[in-house]
């Protein structure tokens, strides 16, 4: 249930901050296909979370290289989720491009090396949801 509440809150965050998809570009001019992906990772414990956050610093650079625009990387702010929950938002040109981005990411040699050399995170529970900004999302 906590995961569902967090996801609803993150959707509100994505819609409420129009700069997420295009920063200085009005929402109507950002393209009809652009989507935001909100990913929530729940690690088994604090050590797994700490290891995941450390790995994500390098992983986010791979996202950028492959065309996934990193928007937000964060940990939950309140217990008990703050002990094991990591959330990030990336932007993709379209839902179809997101599939291609993740396929290229999974095959990326730098990602494979990073994953094999990073400290263990334990079994992660991963939830992903795609959202699109509305035409009335505020623009920064």
Say if residue 44's pLDDT is above 50.
yes
Split at pLDDT 50, 70, 90, the class of 5 is low
d(CA 68, CA 105): 10
pLDDT reading at 32 higher than 60? no
Region 3-13: mean pLDDT is 48
pLDDT digits (tens, 9 = 90+) for 58-75: 999 999 999 999 999 999
pLDDT at 91: 93
Give the per-residue pLDDT at 140: 47
Q: Is the distance from CB of 8 to CB of 130 less than 8 angstroms? A: no
If you average pLDDT over residues 115-127, what whole number do you get? 94
Q: Cα–Cα distance between 108 and 9 in angstroms, integer?
A: 32
- Where in the chain are the domains? 2-131
Residue 135: which pLDDT band, with cuts at 50, 70 and 90? Answer: confident
For 2-131, CATH number out of 3.40.190.10, 3.40.50.620, 3.30.70.100, 1.10.10.10 equals 3.30.70.100
Mean pLDDT, residues 10-20: 43
84-111: per-residue pLDDT in tens?
999 999 999 999 999 999 999 999 999 9
Burial of 126 (0-12, 13-18, 19+ CB in 10 A): exposed
| C-alpha atoms less than 13 angstroms from C-alpha of 121 in its C-beta half-sphere | 24
Q: Please report the pLDDT score of residue 14 as a whole number.
A: 44
pLDDT attached to residue 133 = 82
pLDDT, position 136: 85
């Amino acid at each position: 249930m906590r995961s569902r509440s967090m996801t609803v809150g993150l959707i509100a965050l994505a819609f409420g901050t129009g700069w997420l998809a295009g920063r200085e570009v009005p929402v109507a001019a950002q393209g009809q296909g652009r989507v935001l992906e909100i990913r929530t990772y729940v690690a088994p414990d604090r050590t797994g979370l700490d290891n995941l956050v450390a790995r994500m610093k390098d992983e986010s650079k791979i996202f950028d290289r492959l065309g996934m625009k990193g928007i937000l990387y964060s940990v939950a702010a309140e217990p008990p989720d703050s002990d094991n929950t990591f959330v990030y938002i990336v932007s993709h040109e379209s839902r179809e491009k997101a599939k291609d981005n993740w396929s290229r990411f999974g095959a990326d040699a730098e990602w494979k090396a990073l994953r094999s050399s990073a400290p263990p995170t334990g079994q992660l529970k991963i939830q992903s949801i795609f959202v699109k900004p509305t035409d009335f999302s505020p623009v920064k």
